[in-house]
Chains A and B, each alone.
Chain A
């Protein structure tokens, strides 16, 4: 063994290669290979008559993607929802993350951390299912509204175009609520981590120079928390963009990208179109990542 150690001492790169080989091999073939296969397939097209995949490279499918208004609608709809969810998560997460990072001590702090981690790691499907129950016509939310005599309010919200629907459990508003709930922990944790890194001395310096607490928060703490917000937003954005289960379960009639991909590759057998559709989130996410990187998200991940 000492001989082997001596051997690698002189050739550190060999040791590195040895360690990296298995995982890299796996990633290379299984993951990257698959992504490549996906990209490859998006350049094929489906023959309208035979419904078979024609295996010759073409931009036909992409053209379909960007020219048909229905498809464009899908992309826009998904994008809008992703951005709205991100914004809402950021706003809601702020008080929680601030309190957790800067004011909670000892037991309370541990309580908060566990309290955020638990829902995050609870089964995704169970959570979606739970919201189904909550939003159902005879479910808890409707019951609360009825008890408070606010059924009229609920009905008018549901009647509103764009966000409403026949019931909470099949409306954009309902979908929005579920998305926000699901990704909230992903926004809270990076935010809290970034806020915690703000040295107390900065706060004191700001107060010493005459700033009121709200001013200190706005001018000193918040800008320093931006990397955390950016990091969290990467999760909320990309998770919303690709999700297909929530729109199906709590959904309004309009399709989302994820659903489109699922449907196209399944029943429609149109794998090229499905592949093309999935390239869209990849591109969008990379764009978002480069923007987020500028805001320092990568240091806060």
Chain B
């Protein structure tokens, strides 16, 4: 089956900056695809390449198997929800949503009807006659969504749409967006720098760094088996040991690896070790209380500061361990994830 979107060796250079560097991937039809990465990593540029606001310097962008380099945005069957919503202030909410059909020549009564349908879908039918300036952030976001969906695009692009909303609203919208996608069956491509969002909503996530995709996998896979140090650090925080550090901890010629904070236990110096565990001695630097668990920062004798997530239960055994106390970090050997290139820092 042809992919909904395909990138083949795409590059885009701005001056001396390689915003997108020889990127290739494909997005399946009906998939919720997330592009995750820090600002400047190339994810937004890729989105714009799909939408048509920019053209690749080299390589091909294909939609439904067809090369779209020569196709302008108004001819592509792709719609975008912008970061700043881009609602037209001089039109009412209804007119905004009806814009797509309007420019395609749909008659006025027909497009009003369709627009009202879409507003029902996002639960904003009551606001149809108001102007964007009179709506709250969350409402505007839903208008932007309705406006994009009315054209029944093959792909919906979302450019960090929840960035401006507060936490509670963001979490609600995440659930709504996911269920909307499931119901409509449209391919969603979602750009964000928030790894929590990407992990909770996407079917697959592409992690971008400096114009390249470091890893593309399902959220669980990404979390459990990060391939590079960057991915390990960016998706859920992890402690990363490069080759040097690995050798100091695990013995000669050890590979670089990453270990998640929640897999590390903090033990006193004299406590017994479980079989098959790796250990590293150090001193406590700080303890941060986070409710159900605490984050313990320990400076390893080997050099770096690592963090361990300790549940309240286990913390009882450690009561009295103040800053400076010498402890040992321990983890099962199997929990350590080998990395391909630990030298590429975040």
Contact = CB atoms under 8 A, between A and B. Distances in A.
Given a CB threshold of 8 Å, the question of whether A touches B is answered with: yes
Interface of A: 2, 5-6, 9-10
Contacts of B16: none
B70 interface: yes
B74 A2 contact: yes
B70 A10 contact: yes
A2 B71 CA distance: 11
A52 B28 CA distance: 84
Contacts of B71: 6
A5 B70 CA distance: 12
Given A6-B71, A10-B70, 10 more contacts: A2-B74, A2-B75, A5-B72, A5-B74, A6-B70, A6-B72, A6-B75, A9-B72, A10-B55, A10-B72
Contacts of A10: 55, 70, 72
Contacts of B72: 5-6, 9-10
Contacts, number: 12
Interface in B56-112: 70-72, 74-75
B151 to A, nearest CB: 16
Contacts of A5: 72, 74
Interface of B: 55, 70-72, 74-75
B12 to A, nearest CB: 15
Contacts of A9: 72
- Among all A-B residue pairs, the 7 with the closest Cβ atoms: A9-B72, A6-B72, A10-B70, A5-B72, A6-B75, A5-B74, A2-B74
A5 B74 CA distance: 9
Q: Which of B55, B70, B71, B72: most chain A CB closer than 10 A?
A: B72
Contacts of B70: 6, 10
A9 B75 CA distance: 11
A187 B70 CA distance: 51
B223 to A, nearest CB: 41
A124 to B, nearest CB: 37
B62 to A, nearest CB: 17
12 contacts: A2-B74, A2-B75, A5-B72, A5-B74, A6-B70, A6-B71, A6-B72, A6-B75, A9-B72, A10-B55, A10-B70, A10-B72
B334 to A, nearest CB: 54
A2 B75 CA distance: 9
A40 B124 CA distance: 69
A185 B32 CA distance: 59
Contacts of B74: 2, 5
A242 B106 CA distance: 59
A231 to B, nearest CB: 30
Contacts of A2: 74-75
A136 B70 CA distance: 73
A2 B74 CA distance: 9
Nearest to A9: B72
Nearest to B75: A6
B70 to A, nearest CB: 6
Contacts of A6: 70-72, 75
Contacts of B55: 10
A10 to B, nearest CB: 6
Nearest to A8: B72
A297 to B, nearest CB: 28
B46 to A, nearest CB: 19
Nearest to B72: A9
A5 B75 CA distance: 10
A114 B72 CA distance: 46
Nearest to B52: A9
Nearest to A12: B55
A6 B75 CA distance: 9
A122 to B, nearest CB: 33
